[in-house]
């Protein structure tokens, strides 16, 4: 059902290009003006129906820019971005139209809705409900809506959240984030 992974190329967006150039993993493949474009649409009108399926299709130690356009809808899936899946952007068209949700509990590192372990990631125009494990690497989140109860953004990544709405469902005093920094000298 899905086309060959590398068959889609598009003009690269300058904002994303600047972020990747500033990354610690810059190489000649990442400093190009094109990206692989893949569309996720759960109704079957895209290249993939699930976000995790395209992430799994990206080769390990990827060095090409991959732009995953996610069509509006509620995606009930657990997303895990492994550490060897670099240079990936996941983008909806507007934050309240592309919702990633899961309902899990238990061990803190096993239960997140969205787990980010790769570096050089960009997330835009997404709603992530429940928990975001933002544990390693450098990430840029723009115009996202992230909702949860307690410590719903946690990890040890060096991340920038720009124009994001963080919504706490807690009825009492509760932390939104839980930084896992081990010492003041860490730059996370």
Instruction: Give me the active site residues, please.
Output: 151
| Tokens (6 digits) for 143 | 């115009």
Cβ atoms 139, 122 nearer than 8 A: yes
Whose CA is closest to 176, among 156, 144, 153?
Answer: 153
Cβ–Cβ < 8 Å for 116, 157: yes
Q: How many other C-beta atoms are found inside a 10 Å radius of the C-beta of residue 56?
A: 12
DSSP-assigned beta bridge partners for residue 128? 100, 146
CA atoms within 13 A of residue 25's CA, in its CB half-sphere: 21
β-bridge mates for residue 68, sequence order: 38, 90
CA distances from 87 to 35, 58, 130 (A): 10, 10, 25
How far from the centroid of its chain's Cα atoms is residue 129's Cα?
A: 13
């Amino acid at each position: 059902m899905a086309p060959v992974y590398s068959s889609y190329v598009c003009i690269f967006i300058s904002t994303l290009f600047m972020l990747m150039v500033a990354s610690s993993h810059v190489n000649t493949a990442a400093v190009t003006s094109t990206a692989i474009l893949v569309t996720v649409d759960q109704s079957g009108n895209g290249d993939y129906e699930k976000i995790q399926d395209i992430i799994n299709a990206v080769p390990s130690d990827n060095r090409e820019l991959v732009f995953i356009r996610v069509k509006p809808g509620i995606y009930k899936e657990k997303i895990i971005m492994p550490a060897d899946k670099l240079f990936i952007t996941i983008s909806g068209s507007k934050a309240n139209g592309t919702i990633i949700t899961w309902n899990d509990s238990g061990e803190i590192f096993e239960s997140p809705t969205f787990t980010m372990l790769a570096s050089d990631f960009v997330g835009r125009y997404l709603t992530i409900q429940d928990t975001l494990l933002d544990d390693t690497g450098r990430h840029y989140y723009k115009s996202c809506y992230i909702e949860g109860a307690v410590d719903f953004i946690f990890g040890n990544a060096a991340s920038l959240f720009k124009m994001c709405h963080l919504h706490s469902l807690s009825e009492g005093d509760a932390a939104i984030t839980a930084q896992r920094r081990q010492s003041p000298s860490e730059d996370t």
